[in-house]
Structure 1
Amino acid sequence: MKHHQIFHTTRLRLAGLYAGTMGVILTLCAIAFYEAMAYSHVSELNHRIESVAGTLHDGLEASLQKPGKLEPVARKFIPSLCVVGTSCAYRSTALHYLGVFQENGYYIRFISLSGHLIADGGQVPHNLPIQIETEPWQTLRASDGTHYRQFSLMLKTVNQVPWGYMQVGRSLSDIDEHMVWLRLILLIGLPTAMLLIVIASWWLAGQAMKPVYISYCQMQQFTADAAHELRTPIAAIQANLESTLNPEATDEDAWNTLHTVERQNNRLSRLVHDLLLLSRLDLQGFSAKQESCNLNDLVSDLVEEFSALAMASDISLTTNIQVTTPISVLGDEGQLYRLVANLITNAIQYTPAGGKVIVHLKRDDHQALIQVQDTGIGIPSQEQTRIFDRFYRVNSDRSRHTGGAGLGLAIAQAIVQAHQGTIQVQSEPNQGSIFSICLPLKND
C-alpha cells in the first residue's frame, strides 16, 4: 500500500476524517464534563448556603423589633456574631447557632436598608464589597481575588416592617482550586488523547483499506492474467493467418491454419465462458435456481462420463459410495456437476499413467462429503493455499499441455461457496491429493 499513492492519500483522508470527528466529539465531551462538574459544585454549594440561611432566618426574624437594630438576643442565637462598634475579643471562624448548628467556612452579614454593615460572624472575608441586589444570589470577588458565593434575604420585624438584609455566603476557593486542577488535567489529557486518536486513526484506516487494497491487487493480477491468457491464443491465430496469407502457401497450409484457428477459438470460448461464470458467481452468489440434487446419481454419472478419458490416459477411475440411501442437497445441479467434473478432470490430468482416481461419497453428520482422491504428482504444502486463486498453476508446463488456464479450482471454490459449503485439499508431493467437498444436506 506504501507504493500506491491513491491508497496512501485515501488512508490519510480517512485517518484525518476519523481523528477530526473524534477530536470534535472528545472536545465537546470535555467541555460538557467541565461545565457539568462546575454546575454540580455550585449547585451543591447553593443548596447548603440556602439551607444555612433559611435556618438562621427562621430563628432570628421573630426577635427583631426595630429596623436596622440587632437585638442582644441575636448574640445568643449566633455566639460568633460581632456587632459593628463593639469589641470582639474572640471571633470563631465557624458559624454557630444555639450551640447545635455549626458550619465551617461560612460567614453571615447583617446589612441595613441603607447598605451599611450592622454585624457579621463566621469566617468573614476581608474587603468583600457590600452589595444589595434585587437578585438573591451574587458571586462577589474580594480584593485578594478570592470569589465568594452569597445569598441575601430580606428580614422583617415582628410587625412585618422591613428590617434590613441578612447575607450568608461561603468562599469558592476550594471549588476554584478543584476546577483549576480539572482544567489542568483536561488541558494535558485532551492533547494526549488526541495524539492517541491520531495514531489509532492511522492504524484503523490502514486496517479498513487492507481489504480494498487486496481486492485492487487481485483485480490487477486478474486483469494481467486474463490479458496473458487471451493474448496467447490470439497471437497463435495471428501468426498462423499471416503464414497462410503468404502467396506461396498451399491449400494444405490453409486447412492446417483453419484447424489451428478452430482449436484456439475453442480455447478462447472456454476461457470467456469460465470468466463469465466466475463473474456471475461473484455478483449473484447462490444461484436463483434451486432444486433437489441426488449426489449418488451425480457421482455415478460423472465417473461413467470420464471413464473413457481415464482409460485413454491408462488411469483407473472408480467410485466408493459409502451410503445405502440416496444423499440429496439443495442447489443447482448444473453447477454441482461442473464442480465435481473439474476435480475429476484435474485428478486425471495430474495423475501419471497406471495411477488411480477414486471418487468417494459419504454422509457426515448433517453434511454430504464428496472426496476426489488421486495418486498423482501432488501439491507442495507452500502452494496449497494458492491453488484456488484464479489463473494460478502449480505446474505451468503441464497446464499448458492440457490446455488449462488455471480457473478450474477457482470455479470449484466459487460454486462450493455459493452452496454454503467448503472445499479443502490434502496433498503431498508424489503421493497424490485428496480434494474434499462438504455440502449441507437438504432439510427433509
Structure 2
Amino acid sequence: MKGDDLSAAQKTEYLHIALGHARRLSQLITELFELAKLDACETVLYAEPFSLAELVQDVVQKYRLRAGEAGIRLQADVGGGVPMVHGDIAMMQRVLENLIDNALRHTPAGGHVSVGLLPVGDRVTVRVEDSGSGIPASELERIFERFHRAGDNRDGGSPNAGLGLAIVRRILELHGATIQVQSQPDQGTVFSFDMPVCHA
C-alpha cells in the first residue's frame, strides 16, 4: 500500500506506531548504556544526606498525571518524622522512578500504587506496592535478570525492555542494599529495600 492510498487517519495511526517504536528503541539504548556504566563501575556514587520523604513525594507527583490517565490511584504514604538517609539522591530517584513505572505498567484501571516509608532503627524501609496482576512464583527469581519481562504488560505497548529492575538492583547493590519482592498472582506485588539513616 502506497502512502497516497492511506487516509489521514491511517497515516496518523502509522505515525504513532513509528513514534512508539522510536521511543522504545531510544529507551533501550539509554538503559543499556546506563547498565553498562553501572556494571563497569564508571558511575560515581555521590553519597550525601537527603530527605527520602521529599524525594518520594516529588517522584510520585511526577507520575500522578500518568496514573490518573490510566485510572490508577497513586499515593505517597509518607508520615512525619522520617529521618534523613545517606545515599546518592540522583540514583535513588532513578530507583523510585523505575519501581513506580513498573508498578503502573502492571496495574489495571481501578487499581492502586503506593510508595511508603517506614523508619526502623537505623534504617528506613521503602515499599512500592501495587494491586496489579502479580508475579508467578516461577518467575520471582528471574525478574531482575536483564531483558526478562514478567507477565503481560497491562497496555501491551509499554516501552519496556526489561532492564528497569536490573538497573534498580545494580544501583541498590552499589549502596550496599538488597531489593526484596513479595508477590502472588492476582494479588499485587511489593518491592522493598532499606536505606541507612544519616546520623551526621
Q: TM-score range by the shorter chain?
A: 0.7 to 0.9
Q: Deviations over 1:152-183 (max 9, x none)?
A: xxxxxxxxxxxxxxxxxxxxxxxxxxxxxxxx
Give the direction of change, closer, same or farther, for the CA distance of 1:391–1:424 in structure 2 (3 Å limit): same
1:427 to 170, 183, 194: 183
Runs of at least 4 residues of structure 1 off by over 6 A?
none
Residue in 1 that maps onto 2:49: 292
> Is it true that 1:390 corresponds to 2:149 in the alignment?
no
Letter in 2 for 1:350: H
Paired residues of 2:128 and 2:191 also in contact (CA < 8 A): yes
- Distance in 2 between residues matched to 1:286 and 1:368, nearest whole Å: 24
| 1:328 matches 2:84 | yes
Indicate the residue corresponding to 2:173 in structure 1.
417
Q: Distance in 1 between matches of 2:125 and 2:43?
A: 19
Partner of residue 126, structure 2: 370
Q: Indicate the residue corresponding to 1:268 in structure 2.
A: 25
User: Which is greater in Rg?
Assistant: 1
Q: Any idea what SS the aligned residue of 1:305 has?
A: helix
Matches within 5 A, 1:12-411: 246=2, 248=4, 252=8, 258-284=15-41, 287-322=44-79, 324-396=80-152, 398=154, 400-411=156-167
Q: CA deviation at 1:331?
A: 2.5
Segments of structure 2 that go 5 or more residues without pairing to the other structure are: none
Given the superposition, is the C-alpha separation of residues 260 and 355 from structure 1 closer, same or farther in structure 2, using an over 3 Å criterion? closer
CA distance in 1 between counterparts of 2:22 and 2:48 reads 34
In structure 1, list runs of 5 or more residues that go unmatched. Answer: 1-242
In 1, Cα distance between the equivalents of 2:49 and 2:155?
Answer: 34
Displacement of 1:290 in angstroms is: 2.9
d(CA) in 2 for partners of 1:397 and 1:305?
21
Structure ranking higher on relative contact order (CA contacts 8 Å, 6+ apart): 2
Distance 2:137 2:185 in 1: 8
Tell me the number of residue pairs that the alignment of Structure 1 and Structure 2 aligns: 199
CA distance in 2, matches of 1:289, 1:367: 19
Tell me how far apart the structure 2 counterparts of residues 305 and 397 of structure 1 sit (CA, whole Å): 21
Q: State the identity %.
A: 36
2:108/2:154 contact within 8 Å kept? no
Alignment deviations for residues 23-55 of structure 1 (CA, whole Å, 9 cap, x no partner): xxxxxxxxxxxxxxxxxxxxxxxxxxxxxxxxx
Question: Are 2:23 and 2:159, in contact at CA under 8 Å, matched by a contact in 1?
Answer: no
Alpha-carbon RMSD: 2.4
Which has a greater percent of helix? Answer: 1
> In the alignment, residue 24 of structure 2 is paired with which amino acid?
R
